[in-house]
Structure 1
Amino acid sequence: MEKVLAIGLEGIAVAKTSLSLVDGINGLLVYRGHWARDLAVHHTFEEVAYLMWFGKLPTSEELTVFQTSLANERALPEHVTQIIDATPLDRDMMSVLRTAVSALGCTSQSWPPTIQQVIGVTARIPTIIAHRQARIEGKAPVGPRRDLGHTANYLYMLKGDVPKAAHVRALDAYLILTQEHGMNASTFAGRVVASTQSDIYSALTASIGALKGPLHGGAPSEVTEMIEAIGTKENAESWIRNKLEKGDRLMGFGHRIYKTIDPRATALQKVASQLSADDPWFDLATHVEKVGMELLAEYKPNRKLHTNVEFFAAAVMRAVGLDDQLFTPTFALSRTVGWCAHIMEQAENNRIIRPESEYSGKMPD
C-alpha cells in the first residue's frame, strides 16, 4: 500500500469520537450533541464535565452526587505536596503541574482508567496550581473547601477569599468552553499514550507536556501584553494601526481552525460582558476588540479575521485576578476534562496508535 505523507497529520482523521465536533469553516463547536456556546451560557463546569464523561447532562440528584464526589477528592496526598514544595521556585508552573500529576499516579494505576481516577485527578489539579502559587508568593497554601463549586474553590484557594459571583460565572464559562476541542496536539498526545494501555496519569502527563509548548497553550498571555502596551482607550487606534502597518500580527484575532467567528469567543464575550461595568481592565479590552476588528477590516478586507477565544480568555482571567503565569495552567485545568474523556473513549475501543514515517536518508552502499 502506498504511503500518504501528511506532515503534522493535518487533514488526517485518526479516530472516531462522540465527544465533540469542531467545524472551523462554519464556526461550530458541539459537545456531545449540545452547542458549546449554550452550555457555557446556561450550565456550570460540573454539569458539562458530567456530560463529557457520562454522555448526558445530569439530573439534579446526579449533579449533587457528582459535585460531592469532586469536592471530596480535592486534598493532595502528602507525597505530592512534598514534591511541589521541593521543586525550585524558578521552575515554571506547567512543569510543576506535569510532575505533580505524574506523582498522583504513584499509588493508583490501572487499565482501563476508572471514573474515580478521572474525578480524582480533575479535582486535584486546581489544588496543585493553588498550592504552588502560594509557595511562589511566599504564603501558606489555602486548603480547598467542599462547600464551593469547582471554579469558586479554585479562585478561593488562589486568593484566600470567596470570589465574586460575576467572577465565578465568567471564569466558569471560560473553563467550559475550553474543556474540549477535538484532536488537538495535547489530546492526541494523551490518546497515543493511552493506546499503549499505559495508565491515565502517564497519558495526562503527556497531554500537559504538549500543552506546555508555546505553540499550543501560550496565547492568552500575549493578549494581555498587547492590551497593557495599549494602556488607554485613546491610544488603541494609533497603537493597532501602527502594528498593522508594520505587518505585525494582532494577538487574539484569527484562528488556525476557525475561518469565521470563533463560537467560544462569542459565548465568552456574552457571559463576561457583565464584568465591564465595574472592571476598567475588561472595559479597555472590550474597546481594543472593537477597534481591532474595525482596523482589520480596513487593512485586511480579504481576510476573515475575528476575535478568538484567547482574546476574551485573557480579558476574563486578568479581570478575575489571575497572573499571566496562571493562564496556561488554568487552561490545563479545564482541558483535563476533555483529555480524560478522550482517554476513556480510547480505552473503550482501543487500537495502538502507530503511524509510519517516510525515510529520507541515504541507503547503504
Structure 2
Amino acid sequence: MTAPRPTHPRTHREVRLAAVPDGLPTAADFTVAEAPLPTADEHHVLVRNHAFLVFGGLRTLIGGKARDTPVPTLSPGDPLFGPALGEVVEAPKDSALSPGDLVTHPLGWREYARVPVAHCTPVDPEFPEPTALLASGSAAYGALTRLARVRAGDVVLVTGAAGGVGSLAGQIARLLGAGRVIGTTGSPHKAARLVAEAGYDTVLTAGSWRADDPTQAHRAFAEQLAEAAPDGIDVLLDNVGGIQLAAAVDAARQGARFALVGALSGQFAADGSGAAAPVRLDTFRLIVKGVALQGYTGTEHPGVDAEWTERFADWLRTGALRTPLSRVTGIERAPHAVREMIDGRHFGTVVVELPAQD
C-alpha cells in the first residue's frame, strides 16, 4: 500500500524524441510534451526531478542504428532518459524511502518520474553538492582505477578533456598520483580553464589536426603530443577515438594502459548516426609496447559507484576536487542543450535544472 496521495499537478512535462535525426540532432528532433502525472505503487516511488544530465551517449541512442548498447535505444515518441536528481514525493508505505528524501535515478528528461525503488540511490544529506552527483565522475574514476590503474609518476593523456568525464579525469589522475596530466580540447579558452581549474599541466587544442586529410591531421596531432610528452605516455583515458587514439598508440610507453570511455569522433560526426567510430591503429606498436587497451562500462564494475561517491564527497569537502557544471534552466531548454553540448558551447558537466512550479 502507499500513503495517502498529497496534492500534485495532474500533468507534467517530458522530453520525447520526435524524429530520428538526419545527421546531428537539433532542437526540432525533440518535443516537450505534456503527460499524465505518474503514480507510486508498492514497487515504485514518485520523484519530482530537480535536475538531469545532458550526455554525449544520447546521440547514439537516438541515431537509429546502434547495436549492443548497455541501455535501450530510443524510437520516435519515446521519452528520453538518463541520470537525474530528484526528491521523493510519494513512496510505498513499507519502503526505505520517504517523501522528502533526495535520490539519484535513471529517469531524467521529465519533471516527475515513476521510478522502481531498486533504481533509486539515496543521497547523503551531508553531501556537499548533490547536483554534482550527476557528473560522470564514476566513469572517470573507474577507468583510471580499474583499467588504467594510475601509478605514481605516470604521464596521463585525457582526450576530450573539457567534457563531463574529462573535466574530472585530470583532477582524479592527479589525486591518484600522476606525475604529468595532458588533455585535449577544441578551444584555447577551454584549454586555459582546464589548466587553471581541472588539474592539467598542458592542454593540446584543435587546429591543424582538424584538417580534412586524416593523414595530415594525425601527423599534426602526433607532433603536438610528442612535444607535450617527449618520453611518451603511460595512461590514456580516451573520450574521443579517431586520430587522437591513433596518435596515442604512437606515443605509448612500454606497458601503457589505455581505457576507452567514449567515442565522440563518431558520436558527434555530422555524417553518421553516432553508432560507429572507426579508426586505424598501429597493431604492431600495440604488440611490441605491450599496450593494454580496454573499453570501460560501469555495469562491469558494480562496486565503483559507491567507492567513487565516498571519495568524491571527501575530495569536495577538502577542496581537492571541483566539479565544473554548466547549468541550463527549464525543461523547455533541454532540446537546445543537446545540440549546444555537441557544438562544444558548454564546459564540464551539462545539467538541466527544473525550478519548482507554483
Query: Does TM, normalized by the shorter one, top 0.5?
Result: no
For normalisation by structure 2, the TM-score amounts to 0.26
Structure 1 or 2: more strand by fraction: 2
For normalisation by structure 1, the TM-score amounts to 0.25
Higher relative contact order, structure no. (Cα contacts within 8 Å, ≥ 6 residues apart): 1
Structure 1 or 2: more helix by fraction: 1
